[in-house]
Amino acid sequence: MPLIKTLNGITPKIPDDCYIAENATIVGDVSMGNQCSVWFNAVIRGDVHHIKMGNKVNVQDGAIIHATYKVSPTTIGNNVSIGHNAMVHGCTIHDNVLIGMGSIVMDDCVIESNSIIAAGAIVTKNTHVKSGSVYAGIPARKVKDISEELISGEINRIADNYVKYASWYE
């Protein structure tokens, strides 16, 4: 049974069509859209500020979503994949984004739509990733423009696959 915890009188809002793994943790001021999934050992902790997630967001195994106390909430758009062991903290992620495995997106960053943050990248505080970009490295920098092939072959494919994978567990 997942740990869904009310904190300071605020209970996470999770639609019935979302999949939450048995050992995932979701706390406090968290709201999810439809068809989201939160996988094994993932933590979404809305204790110090709100966390808002759109539709069809998948938070893969071991990922962490948090915010900064009274300063930087976390907002995630639609059709977003947060890869295994990634950390998303006090930032804004627009629609159709892939946050790669083991990457870190820090406070006050903005990741615009149709972008990819490569596996292992560290997006430092206040970075603004323009729409259609691929960022990689430490610190993360733009390495190329995204192609239509990457949008359909990676961003959309992964988000769609996680909706399918969630159906296997219901």
| Mean pLDDT on 70-79 | 97
Instruction: Report whether pLDDT(2) > 90.
Output: yes
| Mean pLDDT on 140-160 | 92
Domain of residue 91: give its range: 3-169
Phi-psi label, residue 165: left if phi above 0, alpha if psi -120 to 50, beta otherwise: alpha
Q: How confident is the model at residue 152 (pLDDT cuts 50, 70, 90)?
A: confident
Question: What is the rounded distance in angstroms from the CA atom of residue 52 to the CA atom of residue 14?
Answer: 11
Say which residues have a Cβ less than 8 Å from residue 23's Cβ, sequence separation at least 6: 2, 3, 40, 41
Provide the number of structural domains found in the chain: 1
Question: What is the rounded distance in angstroms from the CA atom of residue 35 to the CA atom of residue 15?
Answer: 8
Determine which of 65-74, 83-92, 139-148, 150-159 has the lowest per-residue pLDDT on average.
150-159
Instruction: Note every long-range contact of 60-66, with CB atoms under 8 Å and residues 24 or more positions apart, other chains counting.
Output: 60/84, 60/86, 60/101, 60/162, 61/85, 63/39, 63/87, 63/88, 64/88, 64/89, 65/89, 66/90
In terms of Cα–Cα distance, which of 115, 86, 87 is closest to 101? 86
Question: What is the rounded distance in angstroms from the CA atom of residue 22 to the CA atom of residue 16?
Answer: 15
Q: Which two tokens stand for residue 138?
A: 């430490």
| Mean pLDDT on 47-71 | 98
DSSP state of 84: T
Instruction: Report whether pLDDT(170) > 90.
Output: no
Report the pLDDT value the prediction gives residue 75, as an integer from 0 to 100: 98
In terms of Cα–Cα distance, which of 63, 57, 61 is closest to 15? 57
- CATH number of the domain bearing residue 129: 2.160.10.10
Report the pLDDT value the prediction gives residue 5, as an integer from 0 to 100: 98
DSSP string, 56-74: S-EE-TT-EEE-BTTTB-E
Question: What is the rounded distance in angstroms from the CA atom of residue 123 to the CA atom of residue 110?
Answer: 10
Report the pLDDT value the prediction gives residue 148, as an integer from 0 to 100: 87
Query: What average pLDDT does the chain have?
Result: 97
In terms of Cα–Cα distance, which of 94, 90, 96 is closest to 109? 90
| Mean pLDDT on 86-98 | 98
Report the pLDDT value the prediction gives residue 150, as an integer from 0 to 100: 84
Q: How confident is the model at residue 149 (pLDDT cuts 50, 70, 90)?
A: confident
Report the pLDDT value the prediction gives residue 8, as an integer from 0 to 100: 96
Instruction: Report whether pLDDT(137) > 90.
Output: yes
